[in-house]
Structure 1
Amino acid sequence: MAHKFKELLIWKRSRLFCSEIYAITSKFPDSEKFGLTNQLRRASVSIPSNIAEGSSRNSNKDFARFSQISIGSTYEIETQLLISPDLNFILDKELQSCLSESDEIIKMISKFKLI
């Protein structure tokens, strides 16, 4: 069942999303280096990483488990992004763009893991 993760659209798109999160968090205050910045970055790296790791597994059940972890990381990012404007760390335009992309990633992963 092994997938070539570098060819998976969900992996490519989540990798780009990770870059977007890094760009946005680079504008966060230095005092958040070990707070939201770190949390958002770690969660964003987790999405494509778990897709890649799951793709190396030999069963659909294992791949589904790693896909579920990726979805969980995406929801974690959504929560942290929703906190960010409360603290004046992110503009509404950036927030909406990220939330829209995270929704699409969740839909893509959910559809893929059902196959």
Structure 2
Amino acid sequence: MAFKFEELKVWQISLNLSNEIDVIAKNFPRIELFSLSNQIKKAADSVNLNIAEGCMGQSKAEFKRFLTYSVRSGLEVVSCLFMASSRNYITELEFKRLYSEYEQLCKMISKLKTSL
């Protein structure tokens, strides 16, 4: 692996979740194309991108700052999941599974931040 972030479990999980969100968001109604669909995809991608960007930074303090951004983006995804669920764009089962996975991911990112 050429880059340090590729070895991080949180980065690998966030990449997989980002891909899952992309697939789900494609099934949202067309009217949501430039709003909720776009927002949830950007937030999911941001979790992953902030881990990668911060990992390659100059200091632990900088990495911690990017991990904070990553958790915030994860919370944004969860909020978007609530909206998608309330609008019946996703099933209750999809909501519960993704909610749980993002909850675990945010906890893992927070633990990584604390360990630095």
Q: Structure 1, residues 15-54: CA drift from partner, whole Å, max 9, x if none?
A: 0000110111111001110010000000011011000000
Matches of 1:29 and 1:64, distance apart in 2: 37
Matches of 2:92 and 2:25, distance apart in 1: 14
Residue of structure 2 in register with 1:93 after alignment: 93
Shift of 1:59: 1.0
Where in structure 2 are the equivalents of 1:1-115 lying within 5 Å? 4-115=4-115
Report percent identity of matched pairs: 37
Matches of 1:99 and 1:5, distance apart in 2: 24
Q: With CA pairs under 8 Å and 6+ residues apart, which has the higher RCO, 1 or 2?
A: 1
Matches of 1:104 and 1:79, distance apart in 2: 15
Between the two proteins, the alignment pairs up a number of residues equal to: 113
* Aligned-CA RMSD value: 0.9
Structure 2 length as normaliser, TM-score?
A: 0.94
Moved over 3 A (4+): none
Which residue type is aligned with residue 71 of structure 1?
Answer: V
Matches of 2:108 and 2:23, distance apart in 1: 23
Name structure 1 gaps, 5 residues minimum.
none
Name structure 2 gaps, 5 residues minimum.
none
Shift of 1:114: 1.1
Which residue type is aligned with residue 9 of structure 1?
Answer: K
Which residue type is aligned with residue 93 of structure 1?
Answer: L
Partner-residue secondary structure (3-state), 1:104: helix
